[in-house]
Each structure stands twice: as C-alpha cells, then as structure tokens.
C-alpha cells in the first residue's frame, strides 16, 4: 500500500508493520537481502557439493568433472520438482509481525550474512559443516538480538499438543537426521555386505556404474531440500518488502534458487571431499553406493514432510555408520569427533555472527 506524505517522497507501508518508510530505502534493503540470500544459496551449493560428490570421487566411480556434471543437472532439477514443504517450514520459524519493515528485512539480511560467513570459514578449514544449521542460527541470533525472543516461533507449546512447528521442528530434524544416517548406513551396509559376500571382484565395476544413479538421486535430494531453505527466506523477503501478497513461493524464485545453487555446485569446495572421502573412513565402491543410497533416502523422506535436514550431517554420519558396521577400529573417530564438535557449535556461532552483523547494520535500519 502506498501513501504520499511528501510531494517528493513516496512511502511504503508493509503488511507487518504500521509505520511508513521511504520506498527507496525499502527497495534498497530488499535488493540487498535478495542478493544476500542468493549468495547464501550459492555458498550452500559451493559448500555442500563436496558432500554430494565426495564418495563417488573417493571410490573412483567418476572423475571430478563427470561427478560435477551429473550433480549439477540433478541439483538444478531438485528445487524445481521437490515442492515447497521445506520452504514453508523455514519461512515460518520467525514471526516478524509488528516489527518495523526495515528492521525485519535487516534481520533476514544479517542472518544470511552470518550463515555465509560460517559456510566460508568451515569450507576453508575443510570441515563438512551444516549450511542449514548456519542459516537457522544466523536468523535466530539476528531476531533475538533486535526484536526479542518472542519473535522466534519456538514451537514448544505446539510440541506439548503433539505437533511439530517452528524452531522445534527444525532442530528435531537437524538432530535426528544424522542419527538416521548412521543407523540406516550401518544396516544397509550390513545387508549388502552379506548379499555380496561371495561376489567376484568384477562386482566393483557394476557398483561403480550403479553410483551414477545413486549420485543423481542424492544430488536431486540435496537440491530439493537445501535450495528450499533459500526459497523460504527469499519469499519472506519479498513478502516483507510488499512485492508479493502472501507467502507462496513464486516459480521464478524456485528458478533463481536452482540456478544459484547449481552455480555453487560447479565451483564446489574440494577441501571437504578429502575429509569425507578419506579422513573419516577409506571409501570403497560398496561404501560409496551405500552412503549415497542412505543419504538420498533420508533427505528425500525429510523433504516430503517439510523437515529441513543437513546433507553434510547425513552423508558424514552415513560414512561413520558404514565404517562402524565393517571395521569400527578403522574409523578415524578422532576426525569424526572434530566434525561432530563443529556441528554442535554451528548454531551458537552463526547466531553470534548474525547478531553482530545486525548490530552493525542497525544504524541504517532505524
């Protein structure tokens, strides 16, 4: 809704706040927020591409160029065909009703910047951290530091009634998914090891060929789940800025998020490939197939129920489960412990980053 308070200044009224602010300022902060969310989407693809291709490269089923090509195609299709259930979950765990429009947009901007910073730091260290945890932490930190804890949809009361919503749903999904990855990886590897225990060495060739299918499935699952997080935040930015009437993810938002994530995949972070492919457990063709099958199953199942999960956590935990089912002593538990420790500190660290960025931006938002 537009209202004229000065002949030279057109002001904009947001659906979520009763105040009027200059429309040019709203436009500038909205454009900045959109660009930052897409940059987060890019770093998500950049950071998590390694999680998708690590096992297929480590097992020598594909060359890096082949793996990236297959993954890029199916990463692009995932956001377009994977629905919007996860986007709806991500878009609903913060409640910005009554928060000034400029501050609301600043919160989304600061939270995304905090998540980007954590993604780049963990990529630099070669640690398979979670972009999902980083985004949740960044947004919660920005909201709490500026609008207060009441503007986070924690979901505790809904949980008491037997329903999952808000941060509770997000955190439960992020905690359970690596446990499922470990357990399913353990069981699948046990089953396939028994099934193929009398197989000839030529089986490895068939296992490598099978990984074209499982890698494509994992890439699709990653695109379907992870890109939806950016879709949810981007849609919320457009809604707060008054550019769409309701929280319905537009087709063009799906498309640009798919493009941004695919671009990130094409320039993926190879440091993490070494960690997942060799540093936790030495991956062979059967291990790679089991990990891809496990990860794709867990992530796609989560997407169907709107649960945002971490591809990094699922892939890494599946490798741990596979190693534990075969030779527990061969698993580098020290390295695995470093990865788990990074998982634990991701949300508080990115929350602190989001809060700091918001404090730096605050003079521009008031």
Q: Is the dihedral of CA 277, 45, 169, 150 positive or negative?
A: positive
Give the per-residue pLDDT at 272.
53
> Beta strand pairing status for 9-13 and 20-22?
antiparallel
At 34 the three-state DSSP class reads helix
Give the per-residue pLDDT at 268.
67
Domain that holds residue 163: 24-346
DSSP 109-137: HHHHHHHHHHHHHHHHHT----HHHHHHH
Q: How many whole angstroms separate alpha carbon 324 and alpha carbon 317? A: 10
Tally of domains within the chain: 1
Give the per-residue pLDDT at 9.
27
227, HSE (Cβ side, Cα atoms, 13 Å): 37
pLDDT in tens, the chain (366 residues): 333 333 222 233 344 444 555 667 888 999 999 999 999 999 988 877 777 887 788 778 888 788 888 888 999 999 999 888 888 888 888 888 889 999 999 999 999 999 999 988 888 877 767 888 899 999 999 999 999 999 998 888 877 787 888 888 888 888 898 899 999 999 999 998 888 887 777 777 888 888 899 999 999 999 999 899 999 999 999 999 889 999 899 999 999 999 999 998 888 655 555 555 444 456 778 888 888 999 999 999 999 988 888 888 888 888 889 888 988 877 777 767 777 787 789 999 999 999 999 999 998 887
Give the per-residue pLDDT at 23.
64
Token pair, residue 70, equals 């297959």
Q: How many whole angstroms separate alpha carbon 27 and alpha carbon 11? A: 11
Give the per-residue pLDDT at 107.
95
Give the per-residue pLDDT at 295.
93
Q: Report yes or no on 354 lying in a domain.
A: no
Non-local CB neighbours of 333 within 8 Å, separated by 6+ positions:
none
Q: Report yes or no on 2 lying in a domain.
A: no
Give the per-residue pLDDT at 274.
53
Give the per-residue pLDDT at 269.
56
Q: Report yes or no on 16 lying in a domain.
A: no
Q: Report yes or no on 309 lying in a domain.
A: yes
Contact 230, 37 (CB under 8 A): yes
Q: Report yes or no on 241 lying in a domain.
A: yes
Contact 76, 297 (CB under 8 A): no
Q: How many whole angstroms separate alpha carbon 115 and alpha carbon 350? A: 6
Q: Report yes or no on 199 lying in a domain.
A: yes
Give the per-residue pLDDT at 196.
83
Contact 264, 40 (CB under 8 A): no
Contact 298, 309 (CB under 8 A): yes
Q: Report yes or no on 362 lying in a domain.
A: no
Q: Report yes or no on 363 lying in a domain.
A: no
């Amino acid at each position: 809704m537009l209202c004229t308070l000065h002949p030279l200044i057109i002001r904009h009224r947001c659906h979520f706040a009763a105040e009027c602010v200059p429309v040019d300022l709203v436009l500038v902060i909205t454009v900045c927020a959109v660009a930052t969310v897409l940059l987060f989407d890019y770093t998500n693809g950049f950071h998590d591409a390694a999680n998708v291709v690590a096992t297929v490269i480590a097992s020598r089923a594909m060359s890096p160029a082949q793996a990236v090509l297959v993954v890029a195609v199916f990463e692009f299709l995932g956001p377009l065909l994977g629905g919007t259930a996860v986007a709806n979950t991500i878009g609903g765990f913060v409640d910005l009703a009554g928060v000034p429009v400029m501050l609301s947009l600043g919160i989304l901007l600061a939270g995304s910047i905090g998540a980007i910073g954590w993604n780049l730091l963990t990529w630099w260290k070669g640690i398979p951290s979670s972009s999902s945890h980083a985004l949740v932490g960044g947004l919660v930190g920005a909201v709490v530091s500026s609008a207060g804890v009441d503007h986070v949809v924690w979901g505790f009361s809904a949980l008491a009634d037997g329903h999952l919503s808000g941060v509770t749903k997000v955190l439960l999904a992020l905690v359970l998914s690596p446990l499922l990855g470990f357990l399913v990886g353990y069981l699948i590897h046990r089953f396939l090891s028994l099934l193929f225990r009398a197989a000839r060495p030529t089986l490895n060739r068939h296992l490598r060929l099978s990984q074209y299918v499982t890698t494509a499935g994992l890439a699709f699952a990653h695109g379907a789940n992870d890109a939806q997080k950016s879709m949810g935040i981007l849609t919320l930015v457009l809604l707060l800025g008054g550019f769409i009437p309701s929280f319905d993810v537009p087709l063009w938002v799906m498309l640009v998020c798919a493009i941004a994530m695919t671009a990130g995949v094409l320039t993926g972070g190879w440091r993490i490939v070494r960690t997942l492919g060799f540093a936790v457990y030495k991956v062979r063709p059967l291990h790679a197939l089991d990990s891809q099958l496990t990860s794709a199953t867990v992530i796609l199942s989560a997407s169907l129920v709107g649960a945002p999960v971490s591809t990094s956590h699922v892939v890494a935990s599946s490798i741990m489960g596979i190693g534990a089912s075969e030779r527990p002593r061969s698993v580098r538990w020290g390295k695995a412990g470093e990865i788990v420790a990074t998982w634990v500190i991701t949300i508080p660290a990115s929350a602190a980053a989001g809060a700091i960025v918001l404090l730096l931006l605050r003079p521009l938002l008031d």
